């Protein structure tokens, strides 16, 4: 029997309960599908930072490297640890060290979930570049604190980085409805974004079976609201993808439903799967965090590991649960009740 080793990082706040829910579902699917799962739990979090002065131990990255995948809950507790510390101490180092350059977020309305739009169909796969672009961290400040202060932040787009994320987008489109939307702002940003558009056009010749259209970010934001059914796979830079995926999460009913994966497509290091939401301190002790985003992320993990049937079974159970009206309204149902309903659907 194949056994997968999974690093579990529950993190802070609602990260704990939603990761527990996802793990329960994974264990049940593993039993029925005939594969094994071995988890190691790492308490790396803001609490860990308070106790040790670091978000993870110095050899944390090397420890994680040996696992088949990482399942993460949520990291951050801004009242006590600045977001810049928690983000730069854990999530960003993992994404960078393991070259998880494709951040993928499926935006789809599950049955029974009412989004804010009257769209007949909302099913978009957003792919966000995860390692460079506007979030490269290249820049500086001079004359700090004076009236002459200057802040410079430079976007970095490399041929390697742009080509690989676009290629990933083309491949995903090929496996779906065959449509790729590439998002830039090349009318205003005439170096980096024109570069991106040129690479898109060149790669298009290699994928004649994929229809590719380039959009400007502003037009894409409007299209996601006005004509979402016209979209299939959307690929964008780090910043543009960040913004569009929050819009996508809102349209699919909110953060309780937004799943994500940080993928290393070459499989040279583990990929990481996590709900899009944060630690939600406001509801952390109420027992009402929606575990659906975390469970969906776990399904993405199984798909990445090659357990496609297991992933399908989880998605079918989630759909069955929301179709019955369970977990569809924020704050109404308990985390445990939603999890129980998903587990019952898996059995049924």
Which position's Cβ is nearest ligand ATP?
A: 278
Dist CA 189 CA 201 (whole Å): 17
Q: How far is the CB of 237 from ligand ATP (least distance, A)?
A: 19
Is residue 76 a contact residue for ligand ATP (CB under 6 A)? yes
Q: Is 303 helix (H, G, I), strand (E, B) or coil?
A: helix
Dist CA 144 CA 331 (whole Å): 44
Q: Cα-flanking dihedrals φ and ψ of residue 56, to 5°?
A: -150, 160
CA torsion 193→199→205→206, rounded to 10°?
-130
Site for ligand ATP in 288-307 (CB under 6 A): 289-290, 293
Nearest to 67 by CA among 131, 3, 1, 18: 3
Q: How far is the CB of 83 from ligand ATP (least distance, A)?
A: 6
- In the chain, DSSP finds a helix count (H) and a strand count (E) of 12, 12
Q: Which of 168, 185, 232, 333 is catalytic?
A: 185
Q: Which is nearer to ligand ATP, 14 or 180 (CB)?
A: 14
Q: Which is nearer to ligand ATP, 172 or 290 (CB)?
A: 290
Listed in sequence order, the DSSP H helices in 34-158 are 46-52, 60-65, 83-86, 92-97
Name residue 129's beta-bridge partners: 102
Stretches 124-132, 176-184, 198-206, 281-289: which one binds ligand ATP (CB under 6 A)? Answer: 281-289
Dist CA 158 CA 165 (whole Å): 11
Our answer to whether residue 135 is catalytic in this structure is yes
Our answer to whether residue 246 is catalytic in this structure is yes
User: According to CB under 6 A, which one of 277, 297, 338, 342 is a site residue for ligand ATP?
Assistant: 277
In the stretch 7-46, what mask flags binding to ligand ATP with x, by CB under 6 A? -------x--------------------------------
Our answer to whether residue 179 is catalytic in this structure is no
Our answer to whether residue 218 is catalytic in this structure is yes
Local structure of residue 55 (DSSP, 8 states): S
Stretches 92-100, 121-129, 162-170, 282-290: which one binds ligand ATP (CB under 6 A)? Answer: 282-290
Dist CA 313 CA 29 (whole Å): 8
Our answer to whether residue 282 is catalytic in this structure is no
Distance in angstroms between the alpha carbons of the first and the last residue of the chain: 24
Dist CA 193 CA 207 (whole Å): 21
Q: How far is the CB of 275 from ligand ATP (least distance, A)?
A: 6
Is residue 214 a contact residue for ligand ATP (CB under 6 A)? no
Is residue 256 a contact residue for ligand ATP (CB under 6 A)? yes
Which residues are identified as catalytic?
A: 135, 185, 218, 242, 246
Contacting positions for ligand ATP (CB under 6 A): 14, 76, 83, 255-256, 277-280, 282-283, 289-290, 293, 330
């Amino acid at each position: 029997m194949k056994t997968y080793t999974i690093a579990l990082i529950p993190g802070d706040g609602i990260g704990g309960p939603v990761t527990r829910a996802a793990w329960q579902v994974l264990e049940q699917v593993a039993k029925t599908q005939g594969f094994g799962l071995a988890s190691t739990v790492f308490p790396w979090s803001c609490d860990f930072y308070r106790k040790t002065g670091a978000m993870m131990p110095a050899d944390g990255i090397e420890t994680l490297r040996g696992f088949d995948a990482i399942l993460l809950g949520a990291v951050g507790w801004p009242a006590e640890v600045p977001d810049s510390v928690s983000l730069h101490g854990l999530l960003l180092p993992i994404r960078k060290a393991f070259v998880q350059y494709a951040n993928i977020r499926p935006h789809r309305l599950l049955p029974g979930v009412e989004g804010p739009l009257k769209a007949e169909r909302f099913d978009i796969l957003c792919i966000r570049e995860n390692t460079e672009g506007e979030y490269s961290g290249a820049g500086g400040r001079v004359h700090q604190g004076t009236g002459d202060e200057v802040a410079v932040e430079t976007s970095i787009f490399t041929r390697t980085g742009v080509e690989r994320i676009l290629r990933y987008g083309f491949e995903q489109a090929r496996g779906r409805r065959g449509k790729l939307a590439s998002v830039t702002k090349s009318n205003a940003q005439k170096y980096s974004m024109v570069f991106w558009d040129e690479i898109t056009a060149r790669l298009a010749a290699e994928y004649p079976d994929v229809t590719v259209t380039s959009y400007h970010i502003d037009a894409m934001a409007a299209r996601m609201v006005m004509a979402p059914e016209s979209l299939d796979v959307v690929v964008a830079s780090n910043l543009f993808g960040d913004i569009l995926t929050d819009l996508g999460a809102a349209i699919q009913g909110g953060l309780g439903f937004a799943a994500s994966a940080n993928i290393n497509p070459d499989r040279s290091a583990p990929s990481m799967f996590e709900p899009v939401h944060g630690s939600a301190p406001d509801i952390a002790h109420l027992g009402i965090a929606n575990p659906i985003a975390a469970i969906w992320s776990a399904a993405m993990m199984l798909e990445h590991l090659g357990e496609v049937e297991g992933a399908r079974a989880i998605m079918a159970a989630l759909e069955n649960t929301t179709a019955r009206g369970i977990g569809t309204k924020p704050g109404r149902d308990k985390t445990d009740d939603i999890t129980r309903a998903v587990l019952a659907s898996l059995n049924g």
